Amino acid sequence: MTPLTIALYNGKGGCGKTTLAWNVAMGLARRESTLLVDADPQGSLGDWVNWADSEGHFAIAFNDWATFCAGGQGDHRYRVYDCPPRLGEDEIQAVLGQADVVLLPVLPSPLDLWASRRSAELLQDLQERRPALRAYFVLNQVEAHSALSRASQSAIAAMGLPVLPVRIARRAVYRSAALEGVSVYHMGKRAIAAMDEIERLIEEILK
C-alpha cells in the first residue's frame, strides 16, 4: 500500500514542527501503522524518541533520515516527517518531493508569519510542479480566545497558502508531555483539549 506522507516543515525554528510531528504521528498510530521519520540529517528527534519509546501499544516506528533513505522505510500506512529548519536545495527535494501533505506550523503573530514567507513560497513552487501536493499553514501556540490580528490576517492572505481551520492552542501540556517523553494521548484528563485539537488536525489531514 502506498503510504500517506505528511511533512511538518518550516524554515523557521521553534514554531512547533517537532511537537506536532510527534503528536500527530502518535494519533495516526492509534489508527494504523505509522512511521515517524526524523528528516534532520543531524538527527535531533532520534535521541529523544529512542529514549521516549514508552508508548508501547502504539504501532509507531521511528527512523532517522539516513536509515530511512538506506531502505528503512518499512510497510506503513502513514509516514510523518519532522523536518529540520535548515534543508539544502537537494534535501528539500528529497524530503518534500514525496510528501502528500505539508503542514507549515506558524505562530499567529505577523512577525512569525512573515518569517515563514520563504517557506510558503517554496511550497507554492513545489505545488506548481506537483498540483496534487496539499500544503497548509497550521496556527500553533494560539492564545485561548484570541482572535487573529488584522496584521496576521493580511500576512496570511498575502502568502497565498490556505490555513487549516483547526488552531493549536498554547498549552503547558504539550511541554510537559515532551518532558515526560510521551504524547498528549498519554497525559490523561489534563490533555483532553490538546488531544481533541490534534484529532481535529488529523481529520483535516485525512480528508
Binding site for ligand ADP (CB under 6 A): 13-19, 140-141, 168, 170-171, 174-175, 178
Block residue for cell numbers 481533541: 196
Q: Which whole-number Å values give the CA distances from 86 to 13, 92, 98, 119, 177, in the listed order? A: 9, 9, 18, 11, 26
- By beta-carbon proximity to Mg ion, the closer residue of 4 and 21 is 21
Decide: is 119 part of the binding site for Mg ion (CB under 5 A). Answer: no
Residue 106 CB neighbour total at 10 angstroms = 28
- By beta-carbon proximity to ligand ADP, the closer residue of 88 and 131 is 88
Interactions with Mg ion, residue window 13-32 (CB under 5 A): 17-18
- By beta-carbon proximity to ligand ADP, the closer residue of 103 and 133 is 103
Closest CA to 139 of 206, 204, 48, 80: 204
Shortest distance, CB of residue 88 to ligand ADP, whole angstroms?
A: 18
Question: Which of ligand ADP, Mg ion, none has residue 174 at its interface (CB below 5 to 8 Å by kind)?
Answer: ligand ADP
Q: Which whole-number Å values give the CA distances from 118 to 14, 34, 134, 160, 165, in the listed order? A: 16, 30, 17, 12, 22
Q: How far apart are CA 176 and CA 183, in angstroms?
A: 9
- By beta-carbon proximity to ligand ADP, the closer residue of 77 and 193 is 193
Residues that bind Mg ion (CB under 5 A): 17-18
